[in-house]
Amino acid sequence: MKLLFVGDVMLGRLVNECLKEQSFAYPWGDTLDVFRSADVRFCNLECVISDKGEPWSITPKVFHFRSDRKNVSVLKNARIDCVSLANNHVLDYGYDAFFEMFEILKEEKIHYAGAGNDVEEARKPAVFEVGGCRIGLTDNEPIWEATNERSGTFYMPISAKGEERSNTGEFSRDLMNLIKRTKADVDILIVSAHWGSNWGYRPEPEHVGFSHFLVDCGADIVFGHSCHVFRGVEIYQNRPIIYSAGDFIDDYAVDSDERNDESFIFLVETEGTHIKGLKLYPTVIRNFQARHAKGETGERIGQKMKLLCEELDTAVRWNSGLKCLEVFVNE
């Protein structure tokens, strides 16, 4: 089975304006060949999809991302199976837009994880018939935390996991129990984490310990995002940890040093409960769409990721035939 992951997909602002004239396939550029080769496809939806709401004003916020209701067809066009809603933009247009997005995703049969009408729903895994599931959490926007009385996101302060990995903290116990209960019923368990700072090519130290904790509890794949640039992939206990998948589609200004227009399509290959390896296809954002990074550009991006992976003791090589980086498990 092939599981496909891409990082932040932001369909608001100028991307939303572009979609008034372009097709729903446009934001995916020439990458749809890889999407359609996968069995299951995941992304972090870095906006709210709705025609309702007003910009969030309860606390100061600089950027607000909303995409028109019709643009759910962008996700359908790439056959996205599940989106993470545990992030810092899902409530950008308040609760009216938030609730409408739930309805839209359900109507289109797109699974979601990490947000809900209350804390129980926000923590509920998205389960797939193929034998896997996904849990979504975020350490962003604590004011948006779902509770028994309030709708919101599955908020998890990463630093509050309880004496690092001792599992003694309240947050750690709850998450550990959730992962163990869920893992008992599925073949592949994915934990999606929208976490940490916006910049930096190396994983934050607390993310390393927290990711190891997640795997020790039963997670098979840790899918990290939020940082605008990609970070290395670690193989821990034969399980892949994607510390940051970076930005995949957006309208952001590009930093000349930390290139937030560069990322990857992460394709995880499994056989039953066994993770066989990963293929990473380099991408760039051009004119509000994701495109394969070709030639010297693709090799440069691949080499940058190769070095980051090797810093994490991960075995990798550039496949010049497939134009992708291969990440090995059990080497």
Q: Are 34 and 296 a contacting pair, CB within 8 Å? A: no
CATH of the domain spanning 2-328: 3.60.21
Q: What is the pLDDT of residue 78?
A: 98
Q: What is the pLDDT of residue 331?
A: 52
Q: Are 34 and 3 a contacting pair, CB within 8 Å? A: no
Q: What is the pLDDT of residue 174?
A: 86
For the chain, the structural domain boundaries read 2-328
Model pLDDT for residues 234-283, shown as the tens digit of each residue: 999 999 999 999 999 999 999 999 999 999 999 999 998 899 999 999 99
Global pTM reads 0.96
| Strand blocks (E) in the chain | 2-9, 40-45, 48-49, 66-67, 82-84, 111-113, 115-116, 126-127, 132-138, 152-153, 188-194, 221-225, 233-236, 239-242, 247-249, 262-271, 274-286, 289-292, 316-319, 324-328
Q: What is the pLDDT of residue 170?
A: 67
- List, run by run, the mean pLDDT of 10-residue segments along the chain (331 residues): 97 98 98 97 98 90 95 98 97 97 98 97 90 86 95 86 46 87 93 96 95 95 98 98 98 97 98 94 98 97 98 97 94 52
CA distances from 178 to 138, 182, 195, 213, 240 (A): 15, 6, 19, 13, 20
For residue 14, give every residue at least 6 positions away whose Cβ sits within 8 Å of its Cβ, in sequence order, or none. Answer: 251, 288
Q: What is the pLDDT of residue 159?
A: 64
